[in-house]
Each structure stands twice: as structure tokens, then as C-alpha cells.
Amino acid sequence: MTTMAILTIFLLSVFVGFEVVSKVSTTLHTPLMSGANAIHGIILVGAILVAAEAKSTLETTLAILAVVLATINMVGGFVVTDRMLEMFKGKGGKK
Amino acid sequence: MNSNLYALIGLGVAVSFIMALKGLSAPKTARRGNLIGAFGATVATVIVFFDPSIEEGHNTLLIIGAIAFGVIVGVPAARRIQMTQMPQLVALFNGVGGGAAALVAIVEYLNLGESASFGEVLATVFTVLVGSVSFSGSVITFLKLQELMTTRPVVFPGGRFVIAATLAGALGTSGWVIASGGTTPLLILAGLSLLFGVLFVLPVGGADVPIVISLLNAFTGLTVAASGYVLQSTLLIVAGTLVGASGTILTRKMAEAMGRSLFGTLFGAFTAKPQAAAGAGEARPVKSGSPDDVAILLNYAQRVVIVPGFGLAVAQAQHTVRELADLLAAKGVEVAYGIHPVAGRMPGHMNVLLAEANVPYEQLVEMEEINPTFPQTDVVLVVGANDVVNPAAKTTPGCPIYGMPILDVSEAGNVIFLKRSMRPGFAGIENDLLYDAKTTLLFGDAKDSLTKVVSALKNL
């Protein structure tokens, strides 16, 4: 990938990131933060990639540790966000 | 797997994350949005094993074992956590994510060795620096919120210089890594960054902690994007940048909700002198009442506003408070909840708790709307809140919460505080309102007190 292509992707993502949360209500600050937190757990993909390439014992150990931490971040993040949002259910129906 | 198909699936996952964030910003679609994100993340995790660039079968079992272990740790933690402890769990999840990003960058750096390009080294340095700060900073916020250490700002003599020196050291080491490469400087950089993360969060206290969590969350997102650059993964770049950008906006919104600039939040504590506690206040008389007194006050009120705070969450009193509100409504009393944007330990914390107790959404009134109605309110029932109604935010320049908008409960006819003790709130400052003539205090666990008030009210 060229640096220019990466820069383009980066900048466009910045604007999308700004835009999607621009109208969030205070009520949802916490779940949104928690959901975004779970999304950066996608570093798991990176951890798997480096773990699959790791050669030395040191590299393997660090990479596997990264896989464990990233999994906790991703899976735990989505589960805890769902638990928060579970409590909002039914409200839409009542209104 | 065909590399075009692989890239296409990656693109689909990136889109799912955009939809997830979009969904999460509106109440109706929030849960679905989260599930879309979770689905996308699962797909990404499965297909990465078919990444065309990786050697087949190398370390695969070990990786799957590590994922299984992570699931075994993460899921029960997320399932079992009390709703009151949610903020610190989110902080911890964020921290391990930052740590993972830093580790990924270190491993890839070791792997690339001499062949790393300038850009790759730069991105590695950034990821290790920021990821380590995010990790150790989040651990400190966790310790503060879990009250395993003091919740007040920790300021020590010369602290500012130590912080500045650590930062300068970390930046200098970054330059060293970029100039000469090698493993040792990178590990020193990781160490200094971890130290800086600790020093950076220690002076932040009280209600500012949630803002710091949100900021560190955005940081972690950026490190993920930087690792994506090193690993040539579009998905990581997009996902990380999305979180970085939306997290920055969210952090700003939170800071605004608390009426302070982001800069002030982060650096105010560096310059603040440790607040001298109002020593004279401790001996002042307070008026405490019985559950019956409170029930009588409420019974003859026209309008009651309930202000929930962290104490409500701790006592798990959301169902009892709703019972009380329903009882009052049945007696013809107008009831509303005054929700401060940062009541509890996280913005929106109270909304989540009261939604759990099925409190009608229309009764939850935000600060700007409820404040003008306090003069027409007969009784304000403060359930385990303190800092968000503390007039010191208006009257005492230099106190940690000065400038934060508060609920003007002192405008109401009567104020009832349900409190466990005279202990100050999370920010660690005295509340003058407790000594006010129109204030009645009812000591005890919020749930016990509310239960007693409910039964007293039924007997009236």
C-alpha cells in the first residue's frame, strides 16, 4: 500500500469517526464509549498476524500475550456494552 | 484464500464498525449497533487465519488457545460485574487493548529487524509510547474507581518536574529508537511510557476520571491505527482511526457536559495546590431526620425531584426509588428525576441504572431543563449524590469541581439528603448545602432508607 493511499484512508476515517458520533445524546455516552472500546479490540487481528509470524521464543511469548489481552478487550467490551444496553430495552416500545 | 476476497471481507468488517458506532449513538438502534460490531469483529477474527500473507499452521493452536483463554477471562468478568463497577471495567478493557497494541508493535519491530522502513519505525515508536501510556494510565484509573487507592488528585512536591522529565525522557528515547534502532532503546521507551502513564493520571481526581478514561480510549484507537500501518492492514487503520476520532469528540462532549475545557481537566491538576479541607465545617451542626419525617415532607409536597447519584448505584436502590416515585405519583405528587450528566462515575450512568428499574424515560430530566424548575419544587430528594449538587462549584474558585455546572437544588423548598455518612463525595470536598437550614439528612444505606420511607409513606 502506498503512503498516499494510507493517508487517504486515515483522513476519511477521521471524518467518518467525527460524523457518526456528532449527535449522540448524553444518555448514550457511556455505552458509546464502551462500544468504541470494544471496537479497538480489533487489534486482536494484528496480534494474531504477528503471532503467526513469530519466530523466537520472545516474539512468540509477547505475541501470545497480546492475543490474550486483545481478546479480553474485544470480547469483554462487546459483552459489557450489550449488558448496559439491555437495560434500555422495551423503552422504545412504551413510547 | 483469494487476496481480493480477503480484502473485501475486511472492508465489510470496517463498514460494520461504522454502522456499529452510528447505531450506538441513538437509543433505539444502540443494541443492534453493538451486535453488528461484535459480529464484524468475530468475522475479522476468523478470516485472519486465512490471511494470504501468513504461514499456514504456524502457532495456530497456541493462538486459538490464547483466544480461548481471553474469552474465559473476559466474558465472565463482563457478565458478573456489578453495574456500579462498570466504569472501571471499561477502563481496564481499554488498558489491556492499549497494552496489546504496544506488544504487537514490539513484536513486529523485532520481526522486521533491520528491514523496517522509517515510517514503520515511527509508527512503532508511536504505538509503543501511546499504548503503554494507555495501559498504565487505565490501570491507575481502575485503581481509583475501584477505590483501591485514593480517589483524590495525587500531587507531590516537584511532581510537575518529574512528569515533564519523564515525558522528555520518553520523547528523547523515541528519537534514539528512530536514529539507531535496536531492541534496548525500545524497551526503555516502553518502561518510560508506562511510568508517564502513571504520573499523568495520578494528579487527575474526582469527577475528571471518566474524561480521562474516554481520552485514553481514543488514544488506544490511534495506536491500533498505527499498528495497522505497520502491519499493512486497512481494517486496523480504519477501525483504529474511527475509535480515535469518535473518542476525541466524545471526550470533548463529556468535558463540555462538565463545563470545563479538556485542557483544564488534563493539566489543571498539575498546577492545583492540594485543597485545604474546610476544617471549620466539620463541627457544624446538621439536621438529621427520621424516615417518618421524610415521608411526611414528601407526602405533602406538590412536586418532588429525585436526584440520584453514585450512592444509589452502590446500594442498588434503583428499584426502591422507583417504588417510592410510583407511590408518590399515586398520591398525586408530581415526580421527576433530575439527571446530572456526570452523576455516578460515568456520563449516563444514572440513565442506565434507572432504565434497568423501568423508570419511564419521560421522567428523566436533563440538567438544563430541570434547573429552572427547582424554585417551583417543594422537595428535592438527593439519593447518594453529593458533588453534582455542591454549591462550591459556583462559589469556591480553586476547588476541584469549580466551574462544573450543578443541579441548583438549593432553590427548592426543602432538600433531603440520603447519605451513608458525612464523608465528602468523590471529589473530596465539603458540601455546604448539608448544613443549610432547609436540608434534612437521613443517614444510612440508600436502599434501607428508601425502604423505610416507603413503608412510612404507606402508613400515612
CB contact under 8 A, B346 and A28: no
Question: How close B197 comes to chain A (CA, Å)?
Answer: 18
pLDDT tens readout for residues B218-270: 999 999 999 999 998 999 999 999 999 999 998 888 887 766 666 766 665 45
For chain B, give the percent of residues with pLDDT over 70.
91
On whether both B89 and B233 belong to a single domain, the answer is yes
A4 within a domain of the structure (yes/no): no
A6 within a domain of the structure (yes/no): no
8 Å CB contact between B216 and B190: no
On whether both B397 and B267 belong to a single domain, the answer is no
d(CA B175, CA B458): 71
CB contact under 8 A, A72 and B74: yes
B150 touches chain A (CB under 8 A): no
Chain centre to alpha carbon of residue A2: 25
A73 within a domain of the structure (yes/no): yes
B397: helix, strand or coil:
coil
pLDDT tens readout for residues A65-93: 999 999 999 999 999 999 888 876 544 43
Of the residues B387, B436, B445, B448, only one is catalytic, namely B387
B377 within a domain of the structure (yes/no): yes
CB contact under 8 A, A22 and B237: no
Confidence of residue A64 (pLDDT cuts 50, 70, 90): very high
B70 within a domain of the structure (yes/no): no
Establish whether B387 is a catalytic residue: yes
On whether both B300 and B189 belong to a single domain, the answer is no
Cell numbers for B31, please give them: 443494541
Please count the other Cβ atoms lying within 10 Å of the Cβ belonging to residue B170: 24
Cell numbers for B85, please give them: 463497577
CATH for B372: 3.40.50.1220
CB contact under 8 A, B17 and A42: yes
ipTM of this complex: 0.92
Which residue segment(s) compose the domain that B342 sits in? 288-458
d(CA A31, CA A18): 17
Question: How close B16 comes to chain A (CA, Å)?
Answer: 10
Q: Which of B38, B74, B246 sits opposite A17 (nearest CB)?
A: B246
CB contact under 8 A, B41 and A53: no
Question: Residue B277: is its pLDDT beyond 50?
Answer: no
Residues 14..73 of A with a Cβ closer than 8 Å to B: which? 14-18, 20-56, 58-60, 62-73
A87 within a domain of the structure (yes/no): no
**Amino acid A90: pLDDT:** 46
8 Å CB contact between A38 and B93: yes
d(CA B364, CA B316): 18
Tally C-beta pairs within 8 A across A and B: 368
8 Å CB contact between B192 and B170: yes
On whether both B231 and B300 belong to a single domain, the answer is no
B247 within a domain of the structure (yes/no): yes
Q: Which of A6, A21, A73 sits opposite B229 (nearest CB)?
A: A6
d(CA A59, CA B144): 33
